[in-house]
């Protein structure tokens, strides 16, 4: 009889445990939605606008990439995918939109105001990020807790530009001579023919300054700023010349501005629209040919 009671007690405990487990699973299903599903945003994201403490950056979907609107330049696809992954994370918990929760979860912090607007319509406001990399997201009247990816709330183009492609498409096997001019001087400081550029070791630093050159930031150039650049004492002009026809293949401008060095390509008579921030060493390696 005693053994029967023990068996019945064990079976009862298993039944109760099973009920509790099923109850827990049922509660978890309440949150088994992604953040996008929770905010009812199933449409293709055509734009993201990131706002942090008064500064902003907008990404707009184009044919080949998401473009940084302020500079008309492609954003890094990996960074955009990270943002999409964040929005597709499962909601881990929800909270009521109460004054207490808004204060406790960091939404009333005037020194840390951040948000993302999706498709110019859905506003997600962000609160604290806890020690487990979970962030609180306010949408409409509900607060969601989801996993956060570091750096998606950045508004500097430097953090978003596509750095995977070199600035110059010219490769070493293309034949061209290089002419380096200082500011508006008609006569070049130096002219290096292609054969010497490729074969002479003393030009290896100059050669390497052009190939595999990547931007660390990008900014727009206006007509007025172009005039200022043209008058700058730091301006160096570099021409790639066809060795046979003597026609100019490419024309580049390199100059210093504050502590940064910029690089812009001018195609025929068209003024450059973008300036690329490049390593200071590139300017040093080229300008040395114009030192008296």
* pLDDT tens-digit readout, 84-131: 999 999 999 999 999 999 999 999 998 889 999 999 999 999 999 999
**Does 44 lie in the same domain as 147?**
yes
User: Which range is most confident: 21-25, 116-120, 180-184, 222-226?
Assistant: 116-120
Provide the number of structural domains found in the chain.
2
* Domain presence at residue 21: no
Per-residue pLDDT at 291:
79
Residues 237-288 pLDDT 10s: 999 988 888 888 889 999 999 899 999 998 777 888 999 999 999 999 999 9
Mean pLDDT of 47-69: 96
**Does 222 lie in the same domain as 191?**
yes
* Domain presence at residue 117: yes
* Domain presence at residue 221: yes
Cβ atoms 253, 272 nearer than 8 A: yes
Burial class (CB in 10 A: 0-12, 13-18, 19+), 91: buried
d(CA 29, CA 96): 18
* Domain presence at residue 171: no
**Does 269 lie in the same domain as 192?**
yes
Cβ atoms 134, 148 nearer than 8 A: yes
Per-residue pLDDT at 118:
95
**Domain span including residue 53:** 30-159
Residues 16-25 pLDDT 10s: 545 444 434 3
Which of 129, 159, 189 is the last residue before a domain boundary? 159
Per-residue pLDDT at 27:
36
* Domain presence at residue 164: no
């Amino acid at each position: 009889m005693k053994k029967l009671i023990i068996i019945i007690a064990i079976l009862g405990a298993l039944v109760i445990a099973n009920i509790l487990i099923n109850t827990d699973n049922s509660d978890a299903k309440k949150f088994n939605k992604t953040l996008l599903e929770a905010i009812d945003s199933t449409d293709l994201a055509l734009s993201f606008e990131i706002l942090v403490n008064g500064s902003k950056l907008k990404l707009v979907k184009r044919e080949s990439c998401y473009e940084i609107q302020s500079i008309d330049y492609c954003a890094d696809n990996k960074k955009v995918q990270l943002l999409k992954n964040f929005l597709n994370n499962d909601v881990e918990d929800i909270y009521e939109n109460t004054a207490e929760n808004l204060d406790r979860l960091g939404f009333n912090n005037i020194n840390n105001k951040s948000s993302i607007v999706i498709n110019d319509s859905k506003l997600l406001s962000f609160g604290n990020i806890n020690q487990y990399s979970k962030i609180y997201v306010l949408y409409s009247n509900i607060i969601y807790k989801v996993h956060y990816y570091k750096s998606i709330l950045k508004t500097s183009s430097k953090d978003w530009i596509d750095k995977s492609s070199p600035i110059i498409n010219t490769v070493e096997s293309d034949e061209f001579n290089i002419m380096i001019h200082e500011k508006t001087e008609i006569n070049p400081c130096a002219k290096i023919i292609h054969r010497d550029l490729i074969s002479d070791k003393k030009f290896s630093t100059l050669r390497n300054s052009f190939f595999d050159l990547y931007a660390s930031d990008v900014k727009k150039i206006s007509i007025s700023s172009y005039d200022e650049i043209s008058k700058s004492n730091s301006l160096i002009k570099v021409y790639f010349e066809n060795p046979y026809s003597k026609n100019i293949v490419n024309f580049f401008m390199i100059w210093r501005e504050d502590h940064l060095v910029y690089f812009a390509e001018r195609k025929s008579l068209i003024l450059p629209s973008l300036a690329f921030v490049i390593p200071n060493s590139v300017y040093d390696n080229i300008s040395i040919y114009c030192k008296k």
